[in-house]
Amino acid sequence: MKFKILGSGAGIPSKSRNTQSYILDVVEELNQYFLIDASEALQHRIMSTTIRPAKIKHIFITHLHGDHIFGLPGFLSSRAHQGGEGVPLYIYAPAGLKEWVELTLRTSASHLNYPIHYIEVAHNMEFDADGFKVKSYLLDHAIESYLYVFIEPDKPGALKDEQLKRLGIQPGPFYKEIKQSDTFEFDGQIYNTSEFMNPPTEGRKVAVHGDTRVIQHPDYLDLVDGSDLIVHEATYLDGEGEKAHLYYHSEMSEVQKNFSSISYGKLIFSHISNRYDQEQINSISSTLPENMLLAYDFMEITIPRDSQ
Amino acid sequence: MKFKILGSGAGIPSKSRNTQSYILDVVEELNQYFLIDASEALQHRIMSTTIRPAKIKHIFITHLHGDHIFGLPGFLSSRAHQGGEGVPLYIYAPAGLKEWVELTLRTSASHLNYPIHYIEVAHNMEFDADGFKVKSYLLDHAIESYLYVFIEPDKPGALKDEQLKRLGIQPGPFYKEIKQSDTFEFDGQIYNTSEFMNPPTEGRKVAVHGDTRVIQHPDYLDLVDGSDLIVHEATYLDGEGEKAHLYYHSEMSEVQKNFSSISYGKLIFSHISNRYDQEQINSISSTLPENMLLAYDFMEITIPRDSQ
């Protein structure tokens, strides 16, 4: 599982940062990509990667501000000619997106050759994206904006084949039967499967934020707690917390402080305003502990198991 | 007057060609730019030029296919923060654009700080864009698509000051008075101003096409005749006229042939499909006469006076 940043900027694109689009690469797990937000020039960005548009099957839109959705129509239209024929697409987004996409496709006479399923997101929902659990949480922004928490399913442990062999059971089709039920019978005796299995590997957890103020609600912190990766906005990087609050955004050090009571693997600050130049970025970046990073375009992070 | 190509491609962007956006640079004449079509990543392209978004005051949309309009919302939103405050914008486009732009701005909660005036284009209309005459002509495409012909106003000739001096009139404020009326009085006698003025310089004419089949109608050829620059689509470059016709597009050699009866300065073939590689482009380009060119991204053409 990898996290890829196609656009790490806020509001208006700059030469160094495009506006927000993210990829959660679950190719190894599900042979597909989850897309989070779809800023203008998303399809142009994808051209510079090895991502095949048809392998994007679930799109999660955090909120409807233009810098998060204006690349959606172009992506949808082009996907139809880029292997997407007949490959259904699921779009999770706040109310209003469906109506806009549909009028856009109608106005531009774009005929898609695959179905789109729209899922209207609200607070505290839970979706199943091909086995991944995805939870939504309503953030604190000028308009309805969501956090999406992606939870990989636990991976069942392997059978303890030494113990099975001691009972006299040899590797073979019976192993599969054992794995599939809670108990099994051998030589007239009933056994609990759990005693013959290694513990499961816990699935990873990735929390990706839409634009928001810092949120201190315990339900929110509980939900984010234990994430292997948190991606949070930091439109303001350098001690302008009041201004950030006023404009419904976050300031980096306040995000850091807010997460001091929870555990996590890595924390990426993204959605960075383009008023910071590279020198400032470098200087701020050098003050961060090892598990915190400032996002940049085309950044790629591998999310290891048990990273926190 | 210059013509600048921000995107010379068709349908889907490629690494070498973005989809269609053009600039008619009338900075010297009107201190502004006319924009023709607004493909996705228009605002990103503009960043790579010296064009200030607020100096775009008239936008002409040829037709509503996505590869010609999906960059409009991002451009409009960003213009508000890029010096556009209070600078009115005129958008000329087929029916349907206004409704889409308005829903887009509403959905994305984009608040513009300048007024937009929408002008719904139909066949054979004539607009005044700050002194430039702009004529529309309905082309032959799968959906309503227009040609825009931009006609610069004629520039009045200078006064023949040698002749005036011979009458005893010296340069000064009286010169201005003479210029402003058809006749003038000096020393008790009435003169016709026209006899003391050099002939006017004819304004330039630029014809920019939306997607279309080749059109042979005499009204159309009359309208394009005498253009200093014609920009025509050539989605097909290499002898696939039937296919071009089937898909409501044009093939290069048929455009050439069609214009053999009219006069013009330069002819640019643009809206080039991305199935041609650079080698093919170079080879086709090398067969063209000097006044015909294949478009490329960021191409810039100066349009001289009396170029044809």
Give the span between the Cα atoms of A14 and B44, in whole angstroms. 8
Using CA coordinates, name the residue in chain A closest to B10.
A78
- A69 and B43 in contact by Cβ < 8 A? no
Predicted confidence (pLDDT) per residue in A222-232, tens digit: 999 999 999 99
Please give the pLDDT value at position B306.
Answer: 65
Closest C-alpha to A74, from B65, B104, B105: B65
Give the tokens for residue A290: 């090892």
Chain A residues with beta carbon closer than 8 angstroms to that of B52: none
Q: Is residue A67 part of an annotated ligand binding site?
A: yes
Decide if pLDDT at B235 tops 80. Answer: yes
Q: In whole angstroms, give the CA distance from residue B231 to residue B295.
A: 9
Residue A249 annotated as lining a ligand binding site: no
Give me the residue from A13, A48, A64 closest to B109, CB to CB. A64
| A211 annotated to bind ligand | yes
Asked whether the beta carbons of residue B81 and residue A44 sit closer than 8 angstroms, the reply is no
Asked if A74's CB is within 8 angstroms of B66's CB, the reply is yes
Query: Residue B298 forms beta bridges with which residues?
Result: none
Which range is least confidently modeled, A216-220, A275-279, B114-118? A275-279
Q: Find out whether A271 is annotated in a ligand binding site.
A: yes
* pLDDT of res. A141: 97
CA angle B260, B264, B265 (to 5 degrees): 130
Residue A207 φ then ψ, to 5°:
-110, 115
Class of domain A2-155+205-302 (CATH, top level): alpha beta
* pLDDT-based confidence at residue B305 (cuts at 50, 70, 90): confident
For A172-192, write each residue's pLDDT tens digit.
899 989 988 899 999 999 999
pLDDT score, position A220:
98
* Among chain A residues, CA nearest to B96: A107
Q: Find the closest chain B residue to A142 by CA distance.
A: B109
CB pairs under 8 A between A and B: 102
Half-sphere exposure of B192 (CA within 13 A, CB side): 3
Query: What's the pLDDT at A12?
Result: 96
Q: Which residues in chain B have their CB less than 8 angstroms from residue A78's CB? A: 12-13
* Average confidence score pLDDT of chain A: 96
Q: Which residue of A has its CA nearest to B15?
A: A47
Nearest CA in chain A to B80: A12
Residue B120: its pLDDT value, please? 98
pLDDT average, residue stretch B48-61? 98
Please state the pTM of the whole predicted model: 0.93
Confidence of residue A305 (pLDDT cuts 50, 70, 90): confident
CB pair distance less than 8 Å for B107 and A64: yes
Which of B65, B97, B99 is nearest residue A109 as measured by Cβ atoms?
A: B65
Q: What is the pLDDT of residues B6-28, one digit of tens each?
A: 999 999 999 999 999 999 999 99
Per the rule left: phi > 0, alpha: psi between -120 and 50, beta: everything else, B192 is beta
* Confidence band for B307, pLDDT divided at 50, 70 and 90: low
Domain boundaries in chain B?
A: 2-155+205-302, 161-196
Return d(Cα B55, Cα B45) in angstroms, integer. Answer: 15
Q: Hunting for tokens 């984009």 — which residue is that? A: B110
| Nearest in space to B12 (alpha carbons), one of A42, A167, A241, A221 | A42
Instruction: With beta carbons less than 8 A apart as the criterion, state whether B73 and B79 touch.
Output: no
Closest to A267 in 3D by CA, of A223, A231, A303, A298: A231
Q: Distances in Å between the alpha carbon of A53 and those of A29, A34, A74, B132?
A: 17, 11, 11, 43
pLDDT for position A307: 60
Neighbours of A187 (CB within 10 A): 8
Q: Mutate which of A69, A107, A297 to test chain B, going by most B C-beta atoms within 10 A?
A: A107
3-state secondary structure chain B: CEEEEEECECCCCCCCCCECEEEEEEHHHHCEEEEECCCCCHHHHHHCCCCCHHHEEEEECCCCCHHHHCCHHHHHHHHCCCCCCCCCEEEEECCCHHHHHHHHHHHCCCCCCCCEEEEECCCCCEEEECCEEEEEEECCCCCCCEEEEEECCCECCCECHHHHHHHCCCCCHHHHHHHHCCEEEECCEEEEHHHHECCCECCCEEEEECCCCCCCCHHHHHHHCCEEEEEEECCECCCCHHHHHHCCCCEHHHHHHHHHHCCEEEEEEECECCCCCHHHHHHHHHCCCCCEEECCCCCEEECCCCCC
> Which positions of B are annotated as active-site residues?
67
- Find the mean pLDDT for residues B277-290: 96
Residue of B nearest to A47 (CA): B15
Q: Is the dihedral of CA A263, A268, A274, A276 positive or negative?
A: positive
The size of chain A, in residues, is 308
Question: What ipTM describes this predicted complex?
Answer: 0.92
Inter-residue contact A22 to A5 (CB < 8 Å): yes
User: If you average pLDDT over residues B225-254, what whole number do you get?
Assistant: 96
> How far apart (Å, rounded) are the C-alpha atoms in residues A300 and A4?
4
Q: What is the pLDDT of residue A204?
A: 97
d(CA A207, CA A215): 14
Q: How many CA atoms lie within 13 A of A200 on its CB side?
A: 10
Residue A306 has pLDDT above 80, yes or no: no
More confident residue, A171 or A78: A78
> Cβ contact (<8 Å) for B109 and A143?
yes
* Contact at CB, A108 and B66, closer than 8 angstroms: yes
Q: Long-range contacts made by residues A116-123, C-beta under 8 angstroms, separation at least 24? A: A116/A76, A116/A88, A116/A89, A116/A90, A116/A91, A117/A88, A117/A89, A117/A90, A117/A91, A118/A91, A118/A93, A119/A90, A119/A91, A119/A92, A119/A93, A120/A93, A120/A94, A120/A95, A121/A61, A121/A92, A121/A93, A121/A94, A121/A146
User: Chain B contacts of A18, Cβ < 8 Å?
Assistant: 44
Mutate to test the interface with A, among B6, B17, B68, B70 (most CBs of A within 10 A): B70
> Has A68 been labeled as part of a binding site?
yes
- Which tokens in the block code for residue B48? 């790579």
Residue pair B90/B114 in contact by the 8 Å Cβ criterion:
no
Q: Chain A residues with CB inside 8 Å of B40's CB?
A: 40-41, 43-44, 70-71, 73-74
Which of B40, B50, B67 should one mutate to test binding to chain A, selecting the residue with the greatest count of A CBs within 10 A? B40
Counted residue by residue, chain B has a size of 308
Report CA torsion sign: B66, B67, B68, B69: positive
Residue B193: partners with Cβ closer than 8 Å, 6 or more residues away: B178, B179, B181, B182, B183, B184
Taking the CB of residue B18, how many other CB atoms lie within 10 A of it?
25
Q: How far is B154 from chain A (nearest CA, A)?
A: 37
Classify residue A237 as left (phi > 0), alpha (psi -120 to 50) or beta: alpha
Q: Tell me how close the Cα of A63 comes to any Cα of chain B, in angstroms.
A: 9
Contact between B12 and A81 using a beta-carbon 8 Å cutoff: yes
Q: Which residues in chain B have their CB less than 8 angstroms from residue A109's CB?
A: 64-65, 142-143
Confidence of residue A202 (pLDDT cuts 50, 70, 90): very high
CA distance A6 to A1: 16
Asked whether the beta carbons of residue B110 and residue A74 sit closer than 8 angstroms, the reply is no
The rounded distance, in Å, linking the Cα atoms of A42 and B44 is 12
pLDDT for B308 beyond 80: no
- Cβ B108–A70 below 8 Å, yes or no? yes
A65 CA: distance to closest CA in chain B (Å): 4
Name every chain B residue with its beta carbon within 8 A of the beta carbon of A70.
40, 70, 73-74, 77, 108
Contact (CB<8Å) B66/A73: yes
User: Chain A closest CA to B84's CA: distance in Å?
Assistant: 14
Q: Which residue in the block uniquely carries the two structure tokens 């706040």?
A: A94
- Residue A117 annotated as binding site: no
pLDDT digits (tens, 9 = 90+) for A237-282: 998 999 999 999 999 999 999 999 999 999 999 999 999 999 999 9
